[in-house]
Structure 1
Amino acid sequence: MEFRRTQAQTLNGRLKESPRTLTIIAGPRQVGKSTLVRQVLGSFHSHYASADQAPDNSVPLIGEPLGDISSLPGSPPTADWLIRQWEIARARARQMPADRYFVLAIDEIQKVPRWSDVVKGLWDADRMQGLNLHVVLLGSAPLLMQEGLAESLAGRFELISLTHWSYTEMRDAFDLSLDEYIYFGGYPGTATFRYEESRWREYVRDALVSPNIQKDILQMTRVDKPALLRSLFELGCHYSGQIISYTKLVGQLQDAGNTTTLAHYLQLLAQAGLLTGLTKFAGQKHRQRASSPKLHVLNTALISAQGDYTFDAARADRSYWGRLVESSVGAHLCNSAEPELQVQYWREGAHEVDFILTQGKRQVALEVKSGQGTIKTKGMAIFQRKYPEATGRIVGSGGIPLDEFLAQPASHWLEE
């Protein structure tokens, strides 16, 4: 039986309703967006097209004039290509019974120039005609998707977000153990390579990381110093789980420019699903914005693939393994957090708490422990004295078992 993520059920439910809004499927590269949509479309009359692939009807027949070279296979998609796909779906939707819906799915929509303006015009025309046509748009560059949605499609769409795969998903779909998930991370396409570690590393670096940076950031966003962005990503993987000031980052990187540039590049890496910088919990917004970031990868595969440790060597080194464990917890919290839930850290002098979850007036402090030690750290005790309304929890040794913690979304620990 094929594995389906929970978002498939959400999409299936939306497509059974009368078309009222566009459906946007957005998330990082290689988290299964296309697979999920194809799984669901199997139950519907549909037309699927990808801006990564040339449509069959774009190839001229033998003896016909070549025409516009932009329509040849391998050429960049155009607005005309998008309109052609839409017209195919419209024609088939008009043949459907009044109580049935047709679905148009366009993958890699962000690769079509001015896609949001084109979609807006086509969608509004369909609404005026009352056409029973659902439209699903997929994109692997969250930054561009967000800009397009904000600029032209406000009020016309509902978003289904896909993040990196969780421990329970990788366990159920690929039989990964907890330790394997901590080291190999949550990329479904790499699971079968985990027994050939050198091949796995090359795949992560060459087929996942490089295209993510090259195609989803550098080709879609203005980046004046691409080498700096790549270096920041590599350094962020090395320092994952550590608090490091932008000033120190400038000192670690060559041709670093200024701290504003680094903050912007870190934001781009976060939007691409690679690396984020947690802000400091301080109670005051301006102090949070000015704080040094706590760097965290959003998938621990990014640490392991960049490092020199094998799976067995990583587990044997308690210090290194502890870093991977904390990074897996941080990635899980960031990936599973709802938009209104903040994931931060706290530090005062030499005392620190790994993660602070905040939603409304509710606060939970989390300390990750991967080895032997006291159940309540001094940092946690100081934080709770300063913020008595917050709940403190230990994750790992002496507290919530790690597999149990990774099986629940971030919001779960605010509800208890």
Structure 2
Amino acid sequence: MKGMEAKLEKIYLDYNASTPLAPEVVEAMQPLLTDFYGNPSALHWAGRPVKELLFRARQQVADLLSCSAEEMILTSGGSEANNLALKGYYFQHQQKGTHIISSKMEHPAILNPLKFLERMGAKITLVDVDEHGMVSPDEIEAAITEETILITIMHANNEVGTIQPIAEIGKIAQKHGIAFHTDASQSAGKIPIDVNELNVDMLTIAGHKLYGPKGIGALYLRKGTVVEPLIHGAGHEFGVRAGTENTLLAVGLGKACELAKKHVHSSKVKELTNYFWQQLKKEFDQRVVLNGHEEKRLPNTLNVSFVRKIGQDLLSAMPLLAASTGSACHSGRIDLSPVLKEMGVPENIGMGAIRFSLGRPTTKEEIDQVISWLKELI
């Protein structure tokens, strides 16, 4: 492509998959590679300063979610936090009931633990979503039985960005005395989160989704909510997760959350995303379709379908662009993204889907370049 040859800089628009480390995060982590090597549980001179760093990091994470530091359980990432929430709550409370409610559009880090629990005797109900990928609170309430002990619904979908009515679902859960968990891995740092306003008992975040390091995440566990640990050993993480704390990554997560709190109200990324969508509509008119909710979606997420095109073919023809498509390719056959399938997106539209997810470093010039590449292809 001539456009590719003229501009050889790589463009990253896959921030929902992972984010680069913020420079401030790298700076905060650097001293722990050399100077702070003690065990945070040790009471001597080498352990005490590390314990202080760990406490500060936990507080920074808690501040992002408007909760107390004692309610934050540090984990190895979002997947472990989800597993701890679902399995931990089920194994601790299965004598009260075995029914769990979720949605058909959850991340595999929710759906696969639920499949595991089903083998352990749990009864799982997965509610439908509408054409925008939105869950109906009424359908969730209608699915509740006397056996229901837990509801888990993602805060925002990673593929189309649709933001779920979590606060409303939380009120329903409270009314029925049911624990409520939300996976906020994709929303934390992009939109404001207050665990009390959302009415949740458990909430998951992942470090590498908000400019922090990979291999670290956290589970908000409301005071009084009890889960069975997945990892048994000494009494780390308030007795919920054994194992010497990874202070290096915890400090990185803490700094990332501190930065996220400052950036979360910025309109820059949302304005760029809206500009991108307006330009796409201007150039391609009826040949491009928005997937997800027009307004109630993450400010950085733009999932669009190029009608009667194959999303992966378009991406392959733009090798300098990093973006993603939810469709899977198996032996030359392309399967429609499970998320778009649940939304009822027709195959001739869904196959052309590409998820562009913008980040803090994204520029208007990069968006214009991608538009230029797409114009050459379509």
Report the TM-score when normalising by structure 1.
0.28
Structure with higher helix content: 1
Instruction: Tell which has more relative contact order, 1 or 2 (C-alpha 8 A, sep 6+).
Output: 2
Which protein shows a greater Rg? 1
